[in-house]
Amino acid sequence: MELKKGTGTILVVDDEAMVKDLARDILKRYGYTVITAGGGAEAVSVYRERGPEIAAVLLDILMPDVDGKEAFRVIREINPEAKIVVSSGYNQERDARALLELGAKGFVQKPYRIAELVKVVGDVLEQN
């Protein structure tokens, strides 16, 4: 399967540096500009400051301090049209489904598989 290169700025949010760096590296390799945040509070702060340039957010659900569900809520308050893809390494089906029902645009299971991550982000960016 040929993966399409994309454009746009993605905010990658994960409290695990290795996971965050992996997502950043994959997305950069496929043409995206990437901003990272190490948790929900930082993600909200970055989104408040740079929201207009952020095309999509890749948001971990389970994090200390401010978790993904709370960060999702605040980012959507800032911008109700924010394109947010949620991710989790645990069986967070219930939490992921709840966020999808609240307007998350996609879900990516961790550990990330390159093809799935690039496809989901690309598909979300193509949505109106």
- For 106-116, write each residue's pLDDT tens digit: 999 999 999 99
- By DSSP bridging, strand 33-37 and strand 9-13 are parallel
Count other C-beta atoms under 10 Å from residue 4's C-beta.
Answer: 12
Token pair recorded at residue 11 = 């905010």
Residue 54's domain spans which residues? 9-126
Residue 74 maps to a domain: yes
In a domain, 2, yes or no: no
Across-strand partners of 60?
Answer: 87
The pLDDT score that the predictor gives to residue 80 is 97
Q: How far is CA 18 from the centre of its chain?
A: 15
Residue 1 lies inside a defined structural domain of this protein: no
**How many domains does one find in the chain?**
1
Domain assignment present for 73: yes
User: Per the domain annotation, does 81 fall within a domain?
Assistant: yes
CATH code of the domain in which 70 resides: 3.40.50.2300
Least confident interval from 2-6, 39-43, 88-92, 110-114: 88-92
So what's the pLDDT on residue 3?
87
Inside any domain, residue 107: yes
User: Are 58 and 31 in contact, with CB atoms under 8 Å apart?
Assistant: no
Indicate the range of 1-5, 17-21, 48-52 predicted with least confidence: 1-5
Instruction: Return the pLDDT at 1.
Output: 64
**Phi and psi, residue 86, nearest 5°:** -95, 150
Which run of H or of E encompasses 23?
helix 17-29
Residue 80 per-residue DSSP state: T
Q: What is the pLDDT of residues 61-102, one digit of tens each?
A: 999 889 999 999 999 999 999 999 999 987 667 788 889 999
Q: What is the pTM of this model?
A: 0.95
